[in-house]
Each structure stands twice: as structure tokens, then as C-alpha cells.
A and B are shown apart, each in its own frame.
Chain A
Amino acid sequence: MTSDGPRFDTRLDRFVDNYANRTRGMRVSAVRALFAVANRPEIVSLAGGMPNIKDLPLPDIADDLAQLVRDNGTQIMQYGSGQGEPRIREQILDVMALEGIEANADDVLITAGSQQALDLVSRIFLDPGDVVLAESPSYVGALGTFLSYEADVVHVPSDESGLDPQALHETATRLEADDRRIKFLYTIPNYNNPSGLTQPWERRIEVLRVCEQHGILVVEDNPYGLLSLDAEPIPAMRSAGADVIYLGSFSKTFAPGFRVGWALAPHAIREKLVLAQESATLCPPVFSQFAISNYLDKQDWKGQIGVYRDMYRERRDAMLAALEDFMPPGSTWTHPKGGFFVWVSMPEGVDSQSMMARGVDARVAFVPGGAFYADGQGARNVRLSYCFPTVENIRIGVERFADVLEGELDVLRTFGVHSPTPHPGRVAGPGPDLS
């Protein structure tokens, strides 16, 4: 007892000492909090990875869904198969055929978005300390999943054609010499998130060859493959390799709210994935599967992908033109041939994470590059997305971003800082709407 009454001693979480080790990185961060501003209308957000679904034929889809509920309501609102409904698994074969994949519906597992497929793959393969190879840079949502299973993510350098096979060979050789267990290579060969880079066909074959040489399983994540903006899609790695888990999604080619993705896996792996899926969710969302199956049956889904491609092409071109017009000297950026993102490299010494605060003041949002690395790289990079803002706002946003960079460079010139203050631990990534 004190003069102020009894003493309270609290950490505000009675169970703080009970959490698993894997939650250590799950903390509030200032960077993530700054993203809270991104959704305000005054802000031009070049941060979001949300697909732009404004051109979907919503009245037609609404009629189809109403009919579906009337005709099959008791089935589509019931539990379903742990592997996913047979009809949609057959239809997915048609989708994958567009990228050269021949497969059997028995080897397809439906998941709650391909993000859940990443989780299930990690669940069945990763023990703490296992190595996951990932290209530099790589998808923030995948890195978070691997780290939550306490894996050690090792980045493999990329060049202008994406993942570098020689660097992959050298990294694998070094890790093997250190007796490290490489569980799989995670790669996004089409229009990488965040870099926008695409592996040419020959590069894919070479990557597969190196993986075969080292006995490395490949996890090919392909959410953007059908959103090619300049040419027809390049065949998937899975079309040329057996030891590949292929992850697909309807989030970008239709709509993300249904949360339907899939994994195509070699038979033995698929069996374990189904058991893991049943353990996680009993079954993937049945209503969503039927809704998408219905959409594929009744709507011109290939035509809709064409609509998306035209829209994203216009936006991509607007962003590249604005970067050309506004960016200060010393910066470079990728020229994506599909997907949603441009990866900007800024002069040495720039800290994109500390630029976030300037961005809020300048009314522009972007994602600092460090989010796409598990090892502290990426300070002088940002990811800019062109998928959601209008052409006009893309230009305004890039101009504001260029001003933010000018401000940062001005301060750096004053203080002569050539290497950013290291940020402890992994840089926090954006939330789901921005991934």
C-alpha cells in the first residue's frame, strides 16, 4: 500500500509469457501504423496491392449468385470436401492450361487464397531453423509465413531477368557445405511482387535444372501470370518440372474477396496438404468455391481478364511515364511486363522506411523495400503499385513521391549520411489490403 493506494503491476497481457516462440515478431510497428493513413481519400496510395475490380459485371454476377442460392442453397452452405469441390478443381485445369500446365484434378487442393496454400506448404515442410530460399526481393506475405514457422529465409540475388540461377547454385552449394537443410525454393516467376521482374522461359528451365541438381523442391507462386500486359503469358515452371508445387489464385483474375486459391502438388505432397487443410479448416469455403465455379461457367472470364489487362496496361504506362518525368537523377526502376508493381532503387544512403513519415505529410503512400526482405536489405528501395489508383492519381502520386525523395536527399546531403540507421529485426510489412 502506498499513499496513492495499492500498487498495480501489469504488463497488460496476463499470458505474455505463454506465447510460442514463433510469435516473437508479431509486434506493433510504427511503419505498419503509418499505413493506417493510406486509405484516407486525401492520400494517393501507391502502396496497395489490391486488384482493381471496378469493371466486373456486378449485376450479372449478382443474378448468378441469387440463382445459385435458390437452386443449390443447402449444398453450397454445407460443409464440403477437405480437398475442395470436384467441379472447381476440374475447371482450374482449364485455367492452368492457359499457362501450359497439364495436370489431374486429383492433384489440386483448394485453399483460402494462395496465401493459405503458403501456410499449408510451410506447415508440412518447415521445422524451426530450416532454410527457405527466396528471390531478392520477395513477397512480404510469404516471408511472414515462413518466419512464423521459424524458418531461416535466405535470399538469392536477382538480375534483370529475375532469380539468378548461378547465384542459386552458389547459395545452395554454400548452404549444403554448412549442412543446412533447404526445404524449398519460393519463387514468383511472373511479374514478381514486389520487383515486377519476369523470368524468361530459358531462365525458368535453368532454375529448375539447378534445383534438380541440388534436390530442391520448387514452390512456384503465380498470382499474376495471366495479367501479362505486353505479350502472351510465358509457360509456368510447373509445365516443365515435376518437383514443383504450383500455387494459383482467383484473387487477381476475378476477385479476392472469395478467398479461393489452389495448390497443384505432386501426389504424395498433395495427400499431406489435404490432411493439413482438414486440420486447419475442415474444408475450404464451399460457398466461395461454388460462386467461382458458377462464374467460370456462366461469365466470359477470359474476356474479363482481357479487360483487366487493358486497364492495368494503361496504369502501368502512366506510372512509367510519371517516373520518367518526375524522379530525381540517381534512381532507377523496373519496367514490368505484367502484374501490379514497379520496384524503385534510390541512391545509396536513402532510408525508405524513414521516408514513410514524409510520405504521410506529402499525402502519398508507398511500401518501403525492407518489407520484402527477411535480412534487412531493401532500405534504398520502394515498391510502387499502379493497380488501384486512377491514371490521374498515379501521376500525382509519383510527383509527390519524387518530392518526398528530394526532401530525403536534401537532408542526406546536409548530414552526409551514407548508410541508413539499421532498423532492428525484420521490417514490418503492410497489412493484407496492401500486400
Chain B
Amino acid sequence: MTIIVISGGLSHERDVSIRSGRRVSQALRDKGHDVVESDVNADLVALLGSVEDPVVIPMLHGGLGEDGAFSEVLGVLGVPFVGSRSGPARATFDKSIATTAVHAAGLAAPRQLALPHDIFRELGAQSIMTAIGEQLGYPLMVKPSRSGSALGATKVSSADELPGALVGAYAYGPMAVIEQFITGTEVAVTVLEDADGLRALPPVEIRPSSGVYDYEARYTAGATRFVTPAELPTAQLEAAKNLALAAHRVLGLRHLSRTDIIVDGDGTPWFIEGNVAPGMTETSLAPLAFEAAGLDLGDVFAGLVALAGRG
């Protein structure tokens, strides 16, 4: 078997992806595994065909990596891979689909509107923005429908901030989601599959020094404090873990996922978004959960490779 870690690509998150890929590759090598690293390029398909029993770990964030396109290709090629299959990945990467699916399953998710730029242009932006404010109230969150790492995401406190936030979101794609803002404790729950089935790892609480868990806070060491497990009552920790497990199942995910959650003042965990390719950088959340659970990064991925190899 040959483990191939794919990272990079042409997405907005190329830099993060490369760092995740390097870290996972090194962790596997530290455990004695042979690893081939590759970017996404015209040589990749030939590479996959040239090695014996390839198993791919797609460490791709954003764009073609997380939206199911790459896993679709791997499926066509018959190459086993770690992570979710294309349909669930596509649905999860698109916040407008994932939040609706999770909400429809009876799980707590913010009220959300998903609107393309075109609709504002054709119907007149001002009247729609007024209606949005009346429907959802302020503050609210504006995000690109298909993007990660908080790129293009803005908290909007009042109506006059909404146009700028929408302009920022549409820079990352033609569809934006506008959500009810949930106030509370921000946690991330990693769900991991092993031979015994699914399990939710200890929730990681996120406390950014700046107050906002934006791109800087995510990837600058020291800019955010992480507490694992989160400083929440045991019942709320369990509720957050159950929400992540439920979201993982509702969305049809496989092997590994991370669900971003806010636990509100009443102790209710809210689904904010799901991630089919959680970051594995030095400042990422899933590795902190592994560490808290007593798991080694290399062992985790070696286990996932074994699962993927079994199909």
C-alpha cells in the first residue's frame, strides 16, 4: 500500500492545505509509514496510476478539495481515500445546504437565508436588505456559502454594515448565507471513526484574544486560547458531542469530520457548520482534540488509511 497525501490546490486556502498536508505526512512518517506528497496538478492522475495499492489522504481545504469534486474523481479512478464521499462532502461544504439539512433533522441550527448576488441586483438590494434585517434581526452573520477558514465572513451589528459584509462575502463566490447570530461559547467537536464505530472527541473551546475567531486568530500561534475539553458543564459537553455525532450522520459523512458549534446561554448547542477536511496545522482544532483524547496524529491517520483501504 502507498499512502499519498494530497495538499495545495488552487483554492483560497492553499497555504493552510499545504501546512496540513506536511504535518500529516510527517506524523505518518514518524510512525514508519512511507508517504508520497503531491499537489493537485496535471501529473496527479498519472501518479495515482503508477504506484501500488494507493490510498489517498486529501488534505485539501476549500474549493475542489472539500466540495466533493476531488473525491468524485478518486471514486471514478477506483482509488480508496480517507474522508467523506463526494455527495456528502458537496452538501456539507455548501453552508446553505448543510444548515438546512441539519435543521430539517430537528437539530439546533441558526435561521439562515441563502441568496445569490444576482437576486439583489435584479430585485433591488435595499428592499431585500431591509427585509433581511426584519426577518433575522441584528446582529447577524454573513458568510460565503462555499468557503472556509472564516474567509469572507463578517459579523454584522447593524443595517449599515450589511452591504459591506455582503460585498466581502461575494468576493468568495456568487452565493452568500445570512444567519441569525448565536451568542455563546464557541467549541469545535471532532468526530472520528475507527474499528469500533464513531466517537466524538473532547470539545475544544475557542477563545480568540481579539474576540473574533477570524483568519488571523486561527493561524497565528498565540492569538487564541484553546481549552480542551471546553469549560462547560458535563451535560453541555455531552450535548455538544451528541450534536456533532448527529450532524456527522445526518450529512452522511465518513471517517472524520469537525463540527463548529456555539453553546448558547441556556446550554443549547447550535450547529454552525460542518467540515469534511478539518485543518491539521499546528494551530488547528482537530489535532488539539486528538491530543486531549490521548491520540497520536500519525496513529489516527494510519487508522483512517486502514479503514479507507477496506472500502
Contact (A421, B165) CB under 8 Å given A9-B225, A13-B221: yes
Number of A residues, CB within 8 Å of B: 43
Query: Are B125's CB and A414's CB within 8 A?
Result: yes
The interface stretch among A89-97, A231-239, A260-268, A352-360 is A352-360
Query: Are B221's CB and A415's CB within 8 A?
Result: no
**Is there a chain A Cβ closer than 8 Å to B224's Cβ?**
yes
CB within 8 A of A414: which of B16, B121, B227, B234? B121
> Given the complex of chains A and B, what is the CA–CA distance between A33 and B219 in angstroms?
10
Instruction: Tell me which residues across on chain B come within 8 A of A28, comparing CB atoms.
Output: 215-216, 218-220
**B203 nearest in chain A by CB position:** A4
CB within 8 A of B237: which of A4, A10, A351? A4
CB contacts under 8 Å to B, within A275-301, are: none
Which of B121, B171, B218 has its CB near the most chain A CB atoms (within 10 A)?
Answer: B171
CB within 8 A of B215: which of A30, A358, A415? A30
CB within 8 A of A27: which of B168, B203, B216, B288? B216
**Is there a chain B Cβ closer than 8 Å to A328's Cβ?**
no
Distance in angstroms from A35 CB to nearest chain B CB is 8
Instruction: Tell me which residues across on chain B come within 8 A of A40, comparing CB atoms.
Output: 10, 14
> Given the complex of chains A and B, what is the CA–CA distance between A417 and B11 in angstroms?
27
The interface stretch among B29-37, B67-75, B290-298 is B290-298
**Is there a chain B Cβ closer than 8 Å to A5's Cβ?**
yes
Distance in angstroms from A36 CB to nearest chain B CB is 4
Query: Are A421's CB and B223's CB within 8 A?
Result: no
**Is there a chain A Cβ closer than 8 Å to B65's Cβ?**
no
> Given the complex of chains A and B, what is the CA–CA distance between A414 and B126 in angstroms?
9
CB contacts under 8 Å to A, within B11-29, are: 11-16, 18
Query: Are A10's CB and B121's CB within 8 A?
Result: no
CB within 8 A of B226: which of A2, A12, A33, A361? A12
Distance in angstroms from A416 CB to nearest chain B CB is 7
Query: Are B225's CB and A351's CB within 8 A?
Result: no
Chain A window 401-426, contacts with chain B (Cβ cutoff 8 Å), 1 for yes, 0 for no: 00000001011111111001100000
CB contacts under 8 Å to B, within A377-435, are: 408, 410-417, 420-421
> Given the complex of chains A and B, what is the CA–CA distance between A4 and B292 in angstroms?
8
> Given the complex of chains A and B, what is the CA–CA distance between A4 and B87 in angstroms?
33
Instruction: Tell me which residues across on chain A come within 8 A of B163, comparing CB atoms.
Output: 415-417
Chain A window 4-22, contacts with chain B (Cβ cutoff 8 Å), 1 for yes, 0 for no: 1101111111001000000
**Is there a chain A Cβ closer than 8 Å to B117's Cβ?**
yes
> Given the complex of chains A and B, what is the CA–CA distance between A355 and B170 in angstroms?
10
> Given the complex of chains A and B, what is the CA–CA distance between A4 and B200 in angstroms?
10
Size range of the chain B interface in the assembly = 35 or more
**Is there a chain A Cβ closer than 8 Å to B166's Cβ?**
yes
Query: Are A4's CB and B229's CB within 8 A?
Result: yes
> Given the complex of chains A and B, what is the CA–CA distance between A129 and B168 in angstroms?
34
**Is there a chain B Cβ closer than 8 Å to A3's Cβ?**
yes
Instruction: Tell me which residues across on chain A come within 8 A of B291, comparing CB atoms.
Output: 8
Instruction: Tell me which residues across on chain A come within 8 A of B170, comparing CB atoms.
Output: 411
> Given the complex of chains A and B, what is the CA–CA distance between A265 and B9 in angstroms?
47
**Is there a chain A Cβ closer than 8 Å to B202's Cβ?**
yes
**Is there a chain B Cβ closer than 8 Å to A37's Cβ?**
yes
CB within 8 A of B18: which of A29, A36, A412? A36
> Given the complex of chains A and B, what is the CA–CA distance between A413 and B229 in angstroms?
47
Instruction: Tell me which residues across on chain B come within 8 A of A421, comparing CB atoms.
Output: 154, 161, 164-165, 167-168
**Is there a chain A Cβ closer than 8 Å to B172's Cβ?**
yes
Chain A window 24-55, contacts with chain B (Cβ cutoff 8 Å), 1 for yes, 0 for no: 00011110011011001011000000000000
CB contacts under 8 Å to B, within A70-87, are: none
Query: Are B202's CB and A4's CB within 8 A?
Result: yes
Instruction: Tell me which residues across on chain A come within 8 A of B167, comparing CB atoms.
Output: 351, 354, 411-412, 415, 417, 421
Distance in angstroms from A77 CB to nearest chain B CB is 33
Contact (A5, B221) CB under 8 Å given A411-B170, A416-B163: no
Query: Are B221's CB and A16's CB within 8 A?
Result: yes
CB within 8 A of B221: which of A4, A12, A408? A12
CB within 8 A of A357: which of B10, B120, B172, B223? B172
Distance in angstroms from A370 CB to nearest chain B CB is 15
CB contacts under 8 Å to A, within B156-191, are: 161, 163-168, 170-173
Interface residues of B (CB under 8 A from A): 10-16, 18, 117, 120-121, 125-126, 149, 151-152, 154, 161, 163-168, 170-173, 202-203, 214-216, 218-229, 231, 234, 237-238, 282-283, 288, 291-294
Given contacts A8-B227, A16-B221, 4 further A-B contacts (CB under 8 A): A2-B229, A34-B15, A36-B18, A360-B11
Which 8 A-B residue pairings sit nearest by Cβ, starting from the closest? Answer: A16-B222, A13-B222, A36-B15, A4-B202, A415-B163, A33-B15, A30-B215, A421-B164
